[in-house]
Amino acid sequence: MVDNRKFYINGAWVNPAKANDFDVINPSNEEVCATISLGGQADTDAAVAAARAAFDGWAFTPKGDRIALIKRLLEVYNDRQEEMAQAMSMEMGAPISMSRVNQVGAGSWHLEGFLKAFENFEFERDFTATEKTLLEPIGVCALITPWNWPMNQIVLKAVPAMAVGCTVVLKPSEIAPLSGLLFADFCDQAGFPKGVFNLVNGDGVGVGTQLSTHPEVDMVSFTGSSRAGIAISKAAADTLKRVSLELGGKGANILFADAGEKAMHYSADRCFRNSGQSCNAPTRLLVERSVYDRTVEVVSEVANNTRVGPASEEGKHIGPVVSEAQFNKIQGLIEVGMGEARLTAGGLGRPDGLNRGFYVKPTVFADVDNTMTIAREEIFGPVLSVIPFDTEEEAIAIANDTPYGLTNYIQTPDDEKRRRVARRLRSGMVETNGQGFAQGSPFGGYKQSGNGREGGTFGLEDFLEVKAVSGWVSK
């Protein structure tokens, strides 16, 4: 069992000002796998003060020196990949094979992407012959990250913020904190100056609110639920700090009749990936009427054939959901769905043979319409809702009829149709035909899926202020 009650503040591991132990539960077996401490106001204040004290020096550190430190961080990250994979697998239930490839890989991929974007990034730009536009670090940044893709989100925030000259205070999810603690150790090993990177564990009500309201924090970057994003925005309003939000989703996946059965299989697999715990999961499958019945058959077969098992086991399967609270929420929504639509796979309870752990059956509902609860609420589990449509216009209308706008999906070999529909979908991202996004592509959403963009150049710019300077060159 891991015992790490300390916080990383001002370049050192320090004890909390006041003990407040918190048990971390392994979702595969419901046993305590670690004990951490939740911070209080004194810990938050200390971390913010350290970041504030370090800011001026770090902001004016030459770009090349900052690049060198991030390159060193990537080296440390790659050298210690197995530690990180084991930590994430244990804390949030990603099967170990997936944790090594996808969870850990997301972090290294984004680190490499930021290095590429930063190499040629210009902080000074000519506006006219005599006027300059300067891009400058915003200041002290609070980073509040979720449990479902820990390294993906920590790297997407911490690395660009530090790269452009900001100092940071990270609050990882308290139910999956081990990866964040490891990342802090990576930053320490890489040799970042004192106060540039700080970490305080805590919950949203405590440290999360303290950071959001802190007068010395210039920006909050948050990934999580839309409900929490609204609360953070309100908390930050009194100090008028910048708030960047990456929130929930209810992605529509439009499958046209010409897409073929491979696309049907992909649509189910993509929904169930990471046990459905992805904000960009395509959880609403919109299917053209002529292939609707066959699609329901195929995705139901995929659900029934998707193996569920402990995160510690090697192989291709999905693990548990992260916590008892999430398990109970998903079970409640499955029960609602059974009263609204036709259950064709999965359902209530744990899969056969799994009596302990937060395991959810991959579940498919057919004959769903967009007014149903299961079509409107983000379930955040391996639950797929299948909705028929007759025309392209109807599919677009259904896809856009949601308060969310993170990622939508299109399946068709018709290039003209694919581009035409993509232009009409109200979301920050549109994935087509299973083609993933390039390194540095902007990640973020419309509407209640948030604001701001993460990744590459877009992620660097999110942490910068814009300054206009006239008379840079005398006339």
Hey, which residues are catalytic here? 246, 279
* Under 8 Å between Cβ of 420 and 391: no
Nearest to 154 by CA among 203, 197, 125: 197
Quickly count helices (H) and strands (E) in the chain: 16, 23
Pairing of strands 407-411, 252-255: parallel
Give me the amino acid identity at 146: P
Q: Please give the span between the terminal C-alpha atoms of the chain, in angstroms, as a whole number.
A: 68
- For residues 427 and 430, what is the distance between their CA atoms, to the nearest angstrom? 7
Conformational region of residue 13, where left means phi above 0, alpha means psi within -120 to 50, and beta covers everything else: beta
Nearest to 152 by CA among 106, 96, 114: 106
* Under 8 Å between Cβ of 69 and 191: yes
| SS3 letters across 233-298 | HHHHHCCCCEEEEECCCCCEEEECCCCCHHHHHHHHHHHHHHHHCCCCCCCEEEEEHHHHHHHHHH
Q: What is the three-class DSSP state of 184?
A: helix
* Under 8 Å between Cβ of 293 and 263: no
* Under 8 Å between Cβ of 115 and 459: no
* Under 8 Å between Cβ of 179 and 83: no
Beta-carbon contacts of residue 304 (< 8 Å; ≥ 6 apart): 345, 346, 362
- For residues 249 and 405, what is the distance between their CA atoms, to the nearest angstrom? 6
Chain-centroid distance of CA 341 in Å reads 30
- For residues 59 and 167, what is the distance between their CA atoms, to the nearest angstrom? 8
Place of tokens 């046209």: 256
For 299-351, the DSSP string reads HHHHHHH--B--TTS-SS-B---S-HHHHHHHHHHHHHHHHHSEEEE--SSPP
Nearest to 244 by CA among 214, 225, 222: 222
Nearest to 450 by CA among 209, 230, 143, 153: 230
Token pair in block for residue 333: 């929504």
Give, as one character, the DSSP assignment of residue 380: -
